[in-house]
Amino acid sequence: MVLYVLMAVAAWLVWRQHEPWRRSRSALTLWSLQLAVNSAWTPVFFGLHEIAAGLAVMVVMLAAIAWTIARFWPLNRLAGALLLPYLAWVSFATYLNAGFWWLNR
């Protein structure tokens, strides 16, 4: 829950930036993409029981989060920093997902 609040506040901080709007919109599009990938992981891993596919989703999610942070940072450093705990958590979750895949291959 806390991570989602941090994600929302980060997006709000970028959304309220007045200039340059094109860069803010592009960064928020990336934020939306990483949120969509995030929402795909649970049904893939738990619903379909596809551990390898879940791991692939996690790797894409990590890349999308890192890219989002890179785009948020120049617009609002606090917004970029607020996503760092999320990146850390998803990194740990990727490690766990990789462990499940390794043990069940």
Q: Please provide the DSSP assignment of 30-85 as one string.
A: HHHHHHHHHHHHHIIIIIS--HHHHHHHHHHHHHHHHHHHHHHHHH-HHHHHHTHH
What's the pTM value of the predicted model, to 2 decimals?
Answer: 0.93
Question: What is the model's pLDDT at position 13?
Answer: 95
Q: Which segments of the chain have a pLDDT < 70?
A: 19
Q: Are 62 and 46 in contact (CB under 8 A)?
A: no
Cα torsion angle, 36, 42, 48, 52, sign: positive
